[in-house]
């Protein structure tokens, strides 16, 4: 667990972090301008549904242009009997499926790791929830006649460039196993919270893989290919992996169980009366079954109350009524448990690329 970094006066050093800034003109806390990267503001993390302009944005390359999207069609090809080419109007002819899905960047909370690692220094805000609307991927795959020998489905976005300086240019590419691609909850989405996708979120069409970190949900889809060998590219092999001690690499896939405290915010001063501590918890492995809260840095724990909507792939709101026993400095932490028995760890696992940071995060407050 992160150690308390408050001064004797009780002022959290987190308040002095340069990233704790005011949101920019579209409402996000800015991380980078090109490509656009921004976090959901802390105050919005009290809401179950994230407004579209405040949904976090993570891109590896610059947006496609309006010229790129003007004559857009999605090509489905590869090891298939019937190659397809579909327009956005074609997708709207299929029955629409909607799913509330929490999406989290694999590097969310990267700034918590010590020692620091390179990469976007996200705090809490690279996680958001929307109701996505579109067509199940398996519905489209059923139309192409998948040939024997196909083992993966490869997704290609319209965005491309040098992944890092000096590396050969490539499109943004990710693959799923054929079994995962046929999961009926995997969507080809063209709507977000009842509105057409905006460009920064993948217009005209994007993949949405519920329960997986956001790197799997390829934006600006232009091609889906059935392939007969395992895919490897920069963003699926060189990145989005956890390096093990024995030299092997584990791919980053399922979102690990996690929670955050929405209120109070770090460094706040509270009165000595009853307060409603609130937050959100989520997991890629299913529903959240339990959230516990500690006001003494994890020495003792009590159960919070799960409230609000309850969906398999969306975060769970929770709250806990707390009355401080005395004036002074308090370190509040929360930990979550999902329906498969996975418990949020006290410590995040340090790794060179800064992925899957799901250890409990303390919020320090003063009671006067």
Each residue of 148-207: pLDDT tens digit? 999 999 999 999 999 999 999 999 999 999 999 999 999 999 999 999 999 999 999 999
Each residue of 283-318: pLDDT tens digit? 999 999 999 999 999 999 999 999 999 999 999 999
Each residue of 58-82: pLDDT tens digit? 999 999 988 889 999 999 999 999 9
CA angle 237/238/241 to nearest 5° reads 70
Would you state the pLDDT for residue 242?
97
Hey, what's the torsion of the CAs at 165, 123, 213, 338, to 10 degrees? 160
Of 360, 311, 317, 282, the residue nearest 105 (C-alpha): 282
Each residue of 95-108: pLDDT tens digit? 999 999 999 999 99
Average pLDDT for residues 90-117, to the nearest whole number? 97
Q: For the chain, what is the mean pLDDT?
A: 93
CA angle 112/113/115 to nearest 5° reads 130
What's the rounded Cα separation, in Å, for the pair 300 and 183?
Answer: 40
What's the rounded Cα separation, in Å, for the pair 268 and 275?
Answer: 13
347 or 68: which leads in pLDDT: 347
Sheet holding 302-303, edge to edge: 269-270, 363-367, 328-338, 288-294, 302-303
Would you state the pLDDT for residue 5?
64
And the tokens for 291?
Answer: 């959230």
Each residue of 213-234: pLDDT tens digit? 999 999 999 999 999 999 999 9
């Amino acid at each position: 667990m992160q150690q308390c970094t408050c001064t004797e006066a009780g002022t959290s050093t987190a308040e002095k972090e340069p990233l704790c800034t005011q949101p920019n003109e579209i409402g996000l806390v800015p991380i980078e301008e090109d490509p656009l990267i921004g976090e959901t503001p802390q105050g919005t993390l009290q809401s179950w549904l994230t407004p579209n302009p405040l949904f976090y944005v993570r891109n590896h390359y610059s947006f496609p242009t309006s010229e790129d999207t003007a004559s857009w069609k999605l090509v489905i090809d590869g090891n298939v009997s019937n190659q397809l080419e579909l327009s956005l109007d074609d997708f709207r002819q299929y029955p629409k499926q909607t799913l509330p899905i929490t999406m989290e960047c694999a590097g969310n909370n990267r700034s918590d790791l010590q020692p620091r690692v390179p990469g976007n220094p996200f705090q809490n805000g690279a996680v958001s929830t929307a109701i996505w609307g579109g067509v199940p991927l398996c519905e489209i795959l059923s139309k192409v006649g998948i040939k024997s020998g196909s083992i993966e489905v490869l997704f290609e976005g319209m965005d491309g460039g040098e992944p890092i300086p000096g590396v050969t240019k490539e499109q943004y590419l990710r693959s799923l196993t054929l079994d995962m691609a046929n999961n009926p909850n995997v969507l080809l989405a063209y709507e977000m919270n009842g509105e057409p996708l905006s460009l920064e979120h993948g217009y005209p069409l994007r993949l949405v893989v519920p329960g997986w970190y956001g790197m799997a949900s390829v934006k600006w889809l232009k091609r889906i290919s059935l392939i007969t060998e395992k895919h490897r590219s920069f963003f699926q092999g060189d990145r989005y992996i956890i390096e093990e001690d024995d030299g092997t690499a584990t791919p980053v896939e399922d979102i690990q169980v996690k929670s955050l405290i929405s209120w109070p915010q770090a460094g706040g001063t509270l009165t000595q009366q009853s307060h409603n501590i609130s937050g959100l918890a989520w997991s890629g492995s299913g529903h959240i079954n339990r959230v516990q809260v500690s006001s003494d840095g994890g020495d003792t724990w009590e159960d919070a109350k799960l409230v609000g909507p309850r969906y398999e792939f969306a975060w769970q709101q929770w709250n806990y009524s707390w009355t401080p026993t005395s004036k002074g400095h308090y370190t509040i932490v929360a930990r979550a448990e999902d329906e498969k028995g996975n418990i949020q760890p006290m410590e995040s696992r340090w790794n060179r690329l800064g992925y899957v940071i799901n250890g409990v995060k303390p919020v320090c407050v003063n009671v006067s």
